[in-house]
Amino acid sequence: MIVFEAIAAFFIVLGAFFMFVGSLALAIMPDMMRRLHGPTKASTLGLGAILFGSMVYSFGVRGEPSVHEFLIIVFVFITAPVSGMMIAKAFILTNHAVRPTLTATGTATGWATLDPGAPTSDRLPPAIKAD
Amino acid sequence: MIGVACIIAFSLATISLVLTGYRLVVGPDPLDRVLALDTLVINAIGLIAAMGVWFATSMYFEMSLLFAVFGFLSTVAFCKYILRGNVIE
pLDDT for A112 equals: 72
* Short-list B80, B63, B32, B67, CA closest to A82: B80
Number of domains into which chain A is organized: 1
* Short-list B26, B58, B15, B22, CA closest to A57: B58
Q: Do A19 and B43 touch (CB under 8 A)?
A: yes
Instruction: Say how far apart CA A69 and CA B65 lie, in whole Å.
Output: 9
pLDDT for A96 equals: 75
Would you list the domain boundaries of chain B? 2-84
B89 touches chain A (CB under 8 A): no
A7 touches chain B (CB under 8 A): no
Q: Who among B20, B56, B75 is closest to A23 (CB)?
A: B20
B48 touches chain A (CB under 8 A): no
| DSSP class of A102 | S
A63 is in which domain, residue-wise? 2-102
List the helix and strand counts (H, then E) for chain A: 5, 0
A92 touches chain B (CB under 8 A): no
Instruction: Say how far apart CA A9 and CA A27 lie, in whole Å.
Output: 27
Q: Do B6 and A80 touch (CB under 8 A)?
A: no
Q: Who among B4, B46, B68 is closest to A46 (CB)?
A: B46
Instruction: Say how far apart CA A119 and CA A121 lie, in whole Å.
Output: 5
* Short-list A89, A82, A80, A86, CA closest to A43: A80
> Taking 90 as the threshold, does the pLDDT of residue A98 lie above it?
no
Torsion sign, CA atoms A45, A50, A56, A58:
negative
Residue A123 lies in a domain: no
DSSP letters spanning B19-74: HHHHHHHH-SSHHHHHHHHHHHHHHHHHHHHHHHHHTT-STTHHHHHHHHHHHHHH
- Asked if CATH classification 1.10.287 holds for the domain at B2-84, the reply, yes or no, is yes
Q: Do B17 and A23 touch (CB under 8 A)?
A: yes
CB-based contacts of B11, cutoff 8 Å, min separation 6: A16
> Taking 80 as the threshold, does the pLDDT of residue A102 lie above it?
no
Q: What is the pLDDT of residues A29-46, one digit of tens each?
A: 888 888 888 888 877 889
Residue A9 lies in a domain: yes
Best mutation target among B2, B17, B48 (most A Cβ atoms within 10 Å) is: B2
pLDDT for A66 equals: 81
> Taking 70 as the threshold, does the pLDDT of residue A121 lie above it?
no
N-terminal to C-terminal alpha carbon distance within chain A: 66
Nearest CA in chain A to B29: A32
> pLDDT averaged over chain A?
83
pLDDT for A25 equals: 92
Average pLDDT over every residue of A62-90: 88
Nearest CA in chain A to B40: A23
pLDDT along chain B (89 residues), means of 10: 90 94 89 92 92 87 90 92 84
pLDDT for A52 equals: 92
Best mutation target among A14, A19, A47, A56 (most B Cβ atoms within 10 Å) is: A19
Amino acid letter for position A16:
A
Q: The complex's ipTM?
A: 0.90
